[in-house]
A and B are shown apart, each in its own frame.
Chain A
Amino acid sequence: MTPPSYPHRHLLGIEPLEPAHIQAVLDTADALREVLDRPIKKVPALRGKTVVNLFYEPSTRTRASFEVAEKVLSADSLSISTATSSVQKGETLLDTAKNLEAMNPDMIVIRHSASGAPHFLARHCRSAIVNAGDGAHEHPTQALLDALTLRQKKGRLEGLRVAIVGDLMHSRVARSNVWLLTRMGARVVLCAPPTLMPPGIETLAPVTFDIDEAVEGADAIMMLRLQQERMTGGYFPTVREYHKHFGLTEQRVKRARRDVLILHPGPMNRGVEIASEVADGPYSVILDQVTNGVAVRMAVLYLLLGGTEAA
């Protein structure tokens, strides 16, 4: 019997994955994407499986995307947003998870503000665990859908020059993307103001404080949101100053390759990290990312829950 293409029980991050495993997720997502174009967008593959989406932080895209993916595969889907749950009464993460587990879900998809929360659950729960974003650590499904989008448009990941620009300090998306892209042979350049550049990140990829230098000749530019809700110190004088020095304007896009792709994980602060004309312009693949997000999450669900129970 051939070994499973994705041998892990969980998806906790990109860091532990080998290129072959990443490839398996991307190839499966490609095969599943056509289901979203069918007149009846449902296949019975995960009939009778239950998935709990446990979101401790707000989310539009990620949560809706997981829900659609779950329903298309005929799994039963249940979403809990902690703002309206007993977490408000002081219930701990472990108690919440254990109580949910007593109802026998097959998988828990978790987004949490503490890095390592999904790993904690994986140690204490029987269900398969998927990380939908943990603190500033990782957001693996985002990196996978970004990679799928790049591969779709460019035909490959190897050798692509990708600039990741923005609030790297608070970005789990950036970290997951750096792991994935470098592992698959792309060349990554990181750019942020010095106050938002995490110390030590230069060990993962080359860094620059100059956005013009970062986007020069780039195949793809990934813009990250200023995460003002996580900022407790004075990182820059004003939002307008940030846009002037680090915002992606039409002028700056011209420095990249003529067939450059513009990505953004969303939600966007229009006029801050990215100009509206660029977000809505001909190089933007931001909405393709969202569609691919559903396909990628379908692939993750299928690879973790389809087939026999992993040992």
Chain B
Amino acid sequence: MPPAYRERQELMDAERLSRTLARMAHEILERHPDVRGTVLVGVRTRGVPLARRLAARLREATGVEPPVGALDITLYRDDLTTVGPQPVLKGTDIPTSIDGRTVVLVDDVLFTGRTVRAALDELIDFGRPARIELAVLVDRGHRELPIHADYAGRTLTTTREEVVQVLLEEDDGQDRVVLLERTAGTAPRTRTPSRARGGGAPAKRRRRR
């Protein structure tokens, strides 16, 4: 947890996160019974393990696992020259053609929508999907662009100054979703971070969602 924040509420524990993902996987299946025509693309970083987990659940339900890709949107950000020194690149890997297929973009938190905008621009450079849908674990409101989630694990009302933090076993050693608030007496920044990276990892730059 970053120093200026404290935990206000636990939104999901490990069990609830697991049930939420199961429900989301079934919603995707309900809309797209033919799993073969879908591709799950996770937005780095935490969208990728979530996409993998959804793919695994789809395989459990149907016997067919959709391909999973990873999208690094750093090169498409609209704030690249203002966030600070060069953001670290992790690379994009789309292992299959997306032409004519249903792409489900997967991310952990939907906030302003700017990350999804960058992801859409990057995805379109890879081909022409039949449709692109968005699956997020948490939709926390405060959209700055006309973007919506087709599948949302949980929808919340938050204030701009709060932070929704998603911790995953793969990256953080545990499965939890928490709501953080600023500790009293600390001055708010002019740019609100959309979420903090916690779990003992060094503080990275904030990403607008």
- Beta-carbon contact of A308 and B89 below 8 Å: no
- With known contacts A44-B76, A45-B75, A310–B85 Cβ distance under 8 A: yes
- Beta-carbon contact of B85 and A39 below 8 Å: no
- Beta-carbon contact of B84 and A307 below 8 Å: yes
- Beta-carbon contact of B121 and A44 below 8 Å: yes
Interface string of A295-311 (1 = CB under 8 A from B): 00000001100111110
Complex Cα gap A97–B148 (Å): 50
> Count of A residues near B, CB < 8 Å?
29
> Is A206 among interface residues, defined by CB-CB distance under 8 A?
no
- Beta-carbon contact of B89 and A31 below 8 Å: yes
> Count of B residues near A, CB < 8 Å?
27
B residues near A308, Cβ cutoff 8 Å = 81-85
- Beta-carbon contact of A34 and B92 below 8 Å: yes
Complex Cα gap A50–B83 (Å): 20
CB-CB contacts below 8 Å: B169-189 with A: none
> Is A101 among interface residues, defined by CB-CB distance under 8 A?
no
- With known contacts A38-B125, A306-B81, A308-B81, A5–B92 Cβ distance under 8 A: no
CB-CB contacts below 8 Å: A15-65 with B: 27-28, 30-32, 34-35, 38-40, 42-45
> Is A3 among interface residues, defined by CB-CB distance under 8 A?
yes
A24 CB to closest chain B CB, in angstroms?
9
> Is B90 among interface residues, defined by CB-CB distance under 8 A?
yes
A residues near B92, Cβ cutoff 8 Å = 34
Complex Cα gap A145–B84 (Å): 27
- Beta-carbon contact of A45 and B84 below 8 Å: no
A residues near B83, Cβ cutoff 8 Å = 307-308
B86 CB to closest chain A CB, in angstroms?
4
Complex Cα gap A30–B202 (Å): 23
- Beta-carbon contact of A307 and B121 below 8 Å: no
Complex Cα gap A308–B84 (Å): 5
B residues near A73, Cβ cutoff 8 Å = 75
B residues near A6, Cβ cutoff 8 Å = 86
> Is A4 among interface residues, defined by CB-CB distance under 8 A?
yes
B residues near A103, Cβ cutoff 8 Å = none
B residues near A251, Cβ cutoff 8 Å = none
A199 CB to closest chain B CB, in angstroms?
40
Among all A-B residue pairs, the 10 with the closest Cβ atoms: A4-B85, A31-B89, A31-B91, A307-B86, A45-B75, A43-B75, A40-B125, A307-B85, A306-B86, A303-B86
B residues near A307, Cβ cutoff 8 Å = 80-81, 83-87
Select from chain A the residue with minimum beta-carbon distance to B87.
A307
B residues near A4, Cβ cutoff 8 Å = 85-86
B residues near A102, Cβ cutoff 8 Å = none
- Beta-carbon contact of B86 and A5 below 8 Å: yes
**Neighbour of B205 across the interface among A1, A31, A302, CB < 8 A:** A1
Interface string of B49-79 (1 = CB under 8 A from A): 0000000000000000000000010111000
- Beta-carbon contact of A30 and B85 below 8 Å: no
- With known contacts A2-B203, A40-B126, A306–B88 Cβ distance under 8 A: no
**Neighbour of B88 across the interface among A5, A39, A42, CB < 8 A:** A5
- Beta-carbon contact of B91 and A30 below 8 Å: yes
> Is B93 among interface residues, defined by CB-CB distance under 8 A?
yes
B residues near A7, Cβ cutoff 8 Å = 85
**Neighbour of B203 across the interface among A1, A27, A302, A310, CB < 8 A:** A1
- With known contacts A1-B205, A32-B89, A306–B80 Cβ distance under 8 A: yes
A residues near B33, Cβ cutoff 8 Å = none
Interface string of B115-144 (1 = CB under 8 A from A): 000000110011100000000000000000
Complex Cα gap A44–B76 (Å): 6
B residues near A302, Cβ cutoff 8 Å = 75, 86, 89
A residues near B80, Cβ cutoff 8 Å = 45, 306-307
Complex Cα gap A27–B126 (Å): 23
B202 CB to closest chain A CB, in angstroms?
6
A residues near B202, Cβ cutoff 8 Å = 2
Interface string of B194-209 (1 = CB under 8 A from A): 0000000011110000
Complex Cα gap A28–B90 (Å): 8
B144 CB to closest chain A CB, in angstroms?
19
Question: Apart from A31-B72, A307-B80, what 17 extra A-B contacts exist at CB < 8 Å?
Answer: A3-B85, A4-B85, A27-B89, A35-B75, A39-B126, A40-B125, A42-B125, A43-B122, A43-B125, A45-B74, A45-B80, A302-B86, A306-B81, A307-B84, A307-B85, A308-B82, A308-B84
A residues near B76, Cβ cutoff 8 Å = 43-45
- With known contacts A43-B76, A307-B83, A28–B89 Cβ distance under 8 A: yes
A3 CB to closest chain B CB, in angstroms?
7
- With known contacts A31-B72, A34-B91, A303-B86, A39–B127 Cβ distance under 8 A: yes
